[in-house]
A = this chain, B = another copy of it.
Amino acid sequence: MGEKINIGNNVFVYPMATTIVGTHVKGKVNFMTVGFISRVNSTPPLIGISIAKCHYTPKGINKNKSFSVNFPSKEMMEVTDYCGFVSGANVDKSGLFDVFYGELDTAPMIAECPLNLECKLVKTLEFPTNYLFIGEIAGAYSEEQYMTDDKPDVVKMEPLVFTMTDNRYWTIGEYAGKVWECGKDFRKG
């Protein structure tokens, strides 16, 4: 092992999932790319998304109490990136995708994405620069072609991940091992 170097404190999760959050803002469908996302509770299934307060999307979430989370495939990288730097305050993004709805009528989901979640806002937490929106997953949607044994299959979905501050998108690589299994033979050396 080499020498540890202090690299400051503005460090991000390696890597982050690449998602597109869908909302209604001022009566129009809007989409924004989001990488600050995690499940925050097991039962019920709660998801947290963190978005800088200055963005357009929070206006819609706080008003309508719902949002969607869509996982784009790698073929959708350019439009996904576009949704990350163009604001709905200036550009109408409502026509970028085919939109569908589940139970919630203000959580527009992207038909082109292999996996979609519709979330009901249960809490808005306020941090210095960001909101953390806590949503309960009301429904999730995929297609037969993206599933194996009735579960979404990351090989078929081909989602993207990204890293900061080098700002790069990556595909998912090779299968490495089984969770809660591959460590069973581990013994301290």
Contact = CB atoms under 8 A, between A and B. Distances in A.
Contacts of A84: 179-180, 183
A176 B81 contact: no
- Chain A, interface size category, equals 35 or more
A41 B182 contact: no
B4 A179 contact: no
Nearest to A152: B14
Contacts of A6: 102, 139-141
Interface string A74-118: 100111111111000000000110101010000000011001110
Contacts of A132: 40-41, 48
B170 A173 contact: yes
Contacts of A150: 7
Contacts of A19: 13
Interface in A122-160: 125, 127-130, 132, 134, 136-145, 147-154, 157, 159-160
B81 A183 contact: yes
Contact of A140 (B8, B47, B140, B186): B8
A13 B17 contact: yes
Contacts of A12: 39
